[in-house]
């Protein structure tokens, strides 16, 4: 907070008599330079992040609609009406349930696949490690829109690649995107496929910090590979697991592109997500209502983050 440079010696202790004023001048120059460097960020940040965050909160208590665009403050305050409306809105409740489904199944699944891949690459094999690592990570860098387009065709009932492969082993694949029971599993499958690479890379880095001696000691004591994984690797990786589950969870809470491209939220609203419903309300011109929905997503993100921190911290 305060502007003191030159940490070791307080001003009075310098041997040069005029040291103190010169140091103060230097500190002022430093502070000025720091603010000049910070200025562009601060201006852009205030305009495009801080202001909209506050404005969004304000808007969520108003009945702002598209035609109020030019006069964002000349609108009526409606208190918690938008929020009340959201909780009573059957489509939004469906969107909340769908999002919960996506997060509660998708996050553990993605983490499990990521951790399995990381452990296999870290300890199990010696050759071609970088080839597998590269391959598994590739989907992460691609546009969700593009892969969702591709997956829509892969999931075709009659001539899709996935049902063809299932046919080889005698399984009649479902009408993935047309059946309300299978649409969400299909989206979760896509999300896991696309995202586990990030977790895998972070777990691989985390595994480097697990001391090999602990594994050796446990092996000498007769612990099986699974016991060593369960009681040595997992506890050592706890901070990393926390990090990956929080970031994956925050991302999954906002899923949008997958239903937008693959199902338009259908069939029978079985894949409409909170973000997508918010976007739709915005599209209808209900800005105030959309703002309140986006704040609900924000609150959920904050709660999920806090809960995951607690849950994974407690066991230390």
Partner 1 sequence: MGLNSKKANWWLYGVLTVALVAVVAPFAWMVLGSFKTEGELRSSPPTWWPQTATLDNYTQLFSRLSFGDYFTNSVVVAVAVTAGNLLFCSMLGYAFAMLEFRGKRALFLVVMTTLMIPGVVTFVPLFVLVANAGLVDTLPGLFLPFLVSPFGVFLMRQFVLGLPKDLVDAARVDGTGEIGIFARIILPLCGPALATLGILTFLGSWNNFLWPLVVAQTEKTYTLPVALALYSTGQNSTNYGLLLAGATVVVLPVLLVFLVFQRRFIEGIATTGIK
Site mask for partner 1 (CB under 8 A), range 116-155, x = bound: -x--xx-xxx--x--xxxxxxxxx-xxxxxxx-xxxxxx-
Tokens of 196: 């586990």
**87 to 17, 73, 191, 199: CA distances (angstroms):** 70, 25, 27, 34
Of residues 44-103, which lie at the interface with partner 1 (CB under 8 A)?
44-45, 47-53, 55-56, 59, 69-70, 72
**Contacting partner 1 (CB under 8 A), which of 114, 186, 204, 272?**
204
Which lies closer to partner 1 via its Cβ, residue 101 or residue 137?
137
Rounded Cα distance between 1 and 23, Å, is 17
Shortest Cβ distance from residue 33 to partner 1 (Å)? 3
Query: Cα-atom radius of gyration of the chain, to the nearest Å?
Result: 26
Of residues 225-254, which lie at the interface with partner 1 (CB under 8 A)?
225, 240, 243-244, 250, 253-254
Of residues 250-289, which lie at the interface with partner 1 (CB under 8 A)?
250, 253-254, 256-257, 260-261, 264, 275, 278-279, 282, 287
The helix or strand, by DSSP H or E, that contains position 88, with its residue range, turns out to be helix 81-88
Alpha carbon of residue 211 to chain centroid: 29
Shortest Cβ distance from residue 150 to partner 1 (Å)? 5
Shortest Cβ distance from residue 28 to partner 1 (Å)? 10
Shortest Cβ distance from residue 29 to partner 1 (Å)? 6
Q: Is residue 15 near partner 1 by the rule CB under 8 A?
A: no
Rounded Cα distance between 229 and 232, Å, is 6
Shortest Cβ distance from residue 97 to partner 1 (Å)? 18
Which lies closer to partner 1 via its Cβ, residue 115 or residue 152?
152
Bridge partners (DSSP) of residue 77 are 62
Q: Is residue 202 near partner 1 by the rule CB under 8 A?
A: yes
Shortest Cβ distance from residue 251 to partner 1 (Å)? 9
DSSP labels, 142-155: S-HHHHHHHHHHHT
Shortest Cβ distance from residue 291 to partner 1 (Å)? 5
Of residues 148-187, which lie at the interface with partner 1 (CB under 8 A)?
149-154, 158-161, 164
Q: Is residue 112 near partner 1 by the rule CB under 8 A?
A: no
Rounded Cα distance between 272 and 251, Å, is 16
Q: Which of 13, 1, 199 is nearest to 119 (CA)?
A: 199
Q: Which residues contact 166 (CB under 8 A, 6 or more apart)?
A: 172, 173
Bridge partners (DSSP) of residue 62 are 77
Q: How many residues bind partner 1 (CB under 8 A)?
A: 103
Burial of 142 (0-12, 13-18, 19+ CB in 10 A): exposed
Which lies closer to partner 1 via its Cβ, residue 184 or residue 200?
200
């Amino acid at each position: 907070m305060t502007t003191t440079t030159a940490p070791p010696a307080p001003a009075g202790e310098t041997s040069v008599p005029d040291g103190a004023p010169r140091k103060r001048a230097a500190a002022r120059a430093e502070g000025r330079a720091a603010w000049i460097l910070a200025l562009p960020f601060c201006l852009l940040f205030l305009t495009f992040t801080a202001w909209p965050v506050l404005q969004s909160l304000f808007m969520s208590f108003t009945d702002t609609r598209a035609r109020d665009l030019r006069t964002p403050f000349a609108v009526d305050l409606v208190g918690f009406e938008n929020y009340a409306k959201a909780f009573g809105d059957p489509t939004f409740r469906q969107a909340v349930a769908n999002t919960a489904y996506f997060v509660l199944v998708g996050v553990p699944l993605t983490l499990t696949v990521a951790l399995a891949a990381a452990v296999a690459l870290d300890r199990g094999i010696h050759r071609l490690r970088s080839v597998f690592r590269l391959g598994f990570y590739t989907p992460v860098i691609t546009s969700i829109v593009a892969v969702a387009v591709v997956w829509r065709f892969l999931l075709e009932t009659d001539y899709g690649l996935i049902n063809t492969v299932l046919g080889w082993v005698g399984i009649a694949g479902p009408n993935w995107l047309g059946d309300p029971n299978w649409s969400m599993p299909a989206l979760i499958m896509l999300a896991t496929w696309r995202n586990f690479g990030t977790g895998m890379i972070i777990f691989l880095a985390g595994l480097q910090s697990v001391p090999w001696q602990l594994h050796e000691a446990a092996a000498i004591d007769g612990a099986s590979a699974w016991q060593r994984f369960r009681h040595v690797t997992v506890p050592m990786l706890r901070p990393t697991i926390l990090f990956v589950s929080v970031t994956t969870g925050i991302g999954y809470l906002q899923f949008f592109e997958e239903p937008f491209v693959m199902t338009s939220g259908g069939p029978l609203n079985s894949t409409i997500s909170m973000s997508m419903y918010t976007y739709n309300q915005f599209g209808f011109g209900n800005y105030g209502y959309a703002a309140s929905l986006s704040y609900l997503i924000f609150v959920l993100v904050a709660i999920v983050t806090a809960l995951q921190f607690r849950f994974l911290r407690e066991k230390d």
